[in-house]
Amino acid sequence: MLLEMVLATAFAALASAALTPVVIAAGLWDNPDNARKNHRAPTPTAGGLAAAAGFALALAALGFWPGAIWADGLSGDATLRTALAVVAAFAALVVGLFDDLSNLGPRFKFGLMTALSLCIAIFIARAQVFPIAGDIAFDTGIVFAVLGSALWVFTMANAVNFIDGANGLAMGSMAFGLTGLALIAWVHDAPHAMALALCGVGGLIGLLTWNFPAGKVFAGDAGSLFIGVLAATAGLILVQDGGVSPLIPALLFFPILADVLLTLAHRVKKGRHLLEAHTDHLYQIGRRAGMSHARSAAVYWIATAHCAAIAFVASYAPRIAPHSLLAPQPGDVPAATVIVGQVAGWTAALAPYIALVVLALVAMKVSGRVRRFAEARGIDV
């Protein structure tokens, strides 16, 4: 199955790259008409249409190719949820495309994305159980599971949209995060989450050949909302079917989420309007300080790759923590051995939670230093 997944990724990349000139020829333009946009001349946009098309063609090939192992191994329920995940991602694509064409306005767009997020949490997948250690787990209940999962989809989709302002930064970061998601899905036996992720990676690679570093075409709101919803939904499917902690998807895409959430917190602290265009994100501060598109993107790519590696280890650590390390030991075992064993067992079991706390502290430290550095040099933050 791994070979056909790799071939599907390559097919998605080739199809996306081949279809991008068609999108460019369609004449959809992104004009530099507000403060958050870094380009100075009208540029073709909605390149996400090509990435989405490459994704869909590759997933269809996986599903209908005679003798495909992935398709043969899916149950009826898995097939239905995979199809609904594709429908949800394309619904986000349509919302983004209309926003690219006619500017829907933030409130109306957020309303549509809220409704879509709730539908995903109700009908496709949701995170309800937080495993802790051994047989210990926290069940949030169906209501909080739906609301929390919908909030995750909404946040992820809009975070990708907000951060998509430098050539290759958002789409490349999402490709790294989705690759990590696919690897975790492979290890934890969630094949349809793996297929969604890898076909998405292929579509992004094809788009990036045109978008990075020269910015010949932008993903647009169509592309950012599409890939944000796809990643969020694949993450929920991974949690529900693979049994990993609901924190794992957040770890995979942590750099994007941290930038957006810390920037929003910064704007609240400064008393600024949350829905108006701005240039307060860390990458935008870097751009004003003279960083190129390529260097800005590389920083986020490297950070996301590291977080994906951390997420992989954090997802696997609870599986290798023997229950015996979490339970009282026989009386003839030295006390020091018992204590060390239990500490090691609980640390492995709580790895996703520990990793998220550590990364959050690091992100806050980095954000604070970047903003202080910029202010000291007269850069408005």
263, pLDDT greater than 60: yes
The two three-digit tokens of residue 169, written as one number: 């930064």
Predicted confidence at residue 2, as pLDDT, reads 84
- Residue 218 confidence class, pLDDT cut points 50, 70, 90: very high
Q: Name beta bridge partners: 138.
A: 130
Tens-digit pLDDT profile for residues 16-29: 999 999 999 988 88
Tens-digit pLDDT profile for residues 339-360: 555 566 667 778 899 999 999 9
Distances (CA, A) of 28 to 19, 43, 207: 14, 8, 16
288, pLDDT greater than 60: yes
* Mean pLDDT comparison of 57-71, 135-149, 188-202, highest-scoring range: 188-202
Cα 343 from Cα 252, distance rounded (Å): 26
Predicted confidence at residue 42, as pLDDT, reads 81
Predicted confidence at residue 348, as pLDDT, reads 73
**Percentage of the chain lying above the pLDDT 70 cut:** 89
DSSP designation for 139: E
Cα 77 from Cα 62, distance rounded (Å): 17
Tens-digit pLDDT profile for residues 168-181: 999 999 999 999 99
73, pLDDT greater than 80: no
Q: What is the pTM of this model?
A: 0.92
Predicted confidence at residue 72, as pLDDT, reads 75
Handedness of CA 260, 231, 309, 189 (dihedral sign): positive
Q: Return the closest-CA partner of residue 287 out of 160, 165, 158.
A: 165
Lowest mean pLDDT among 27-36, 178-187, 211-220, 302-311: 27-36
Mean pLDDT of all residues in the chain?
89
Q: Name beta bridge partners: 131.
A: 137
**Is residue 314 within 8 Å of residue 251, measured between CB atoms?**
yes
* Mean pLDDT comparison of 96-110, 201-215, 316-330, highest-scoring range: 201-215
Q: Is 243 left (phi over 0), alpha (psi -120 to 50) or beta?
A: left
Q: Return the closest-CA partner of residue 158 out of 226, 212, 103.
A: 226
316, pLDDT greater than 90: no
85, pLDDT greater than 70: yes
* Helix boundaries (H) for the chain: 2-25, 48-64, 69-72, 76-102, 106-123, 142-163, 169-187, 191-211, 220-242, 247-252, 254-269, 282-288, 293-320, 323-326, 335-349, 351-376
Cα 376 from Cα 281, distance rounded (Å): 17
Predicted confidence at residue 373, as pLDDT, reads 87
Say what angle helices 76-102 and 106-123 make with each other, to 10 degrees: 180
Lowest mean pLDDT among 41-55, 78-92, 226-240, 249-263: 41-55
Q: Where are the domains positioned within the chain?
A: 2-321+351-376
Average pLDDT over residues 52-61: 96
The two three-digit tokens of residue 208, written as one number: 């990036």
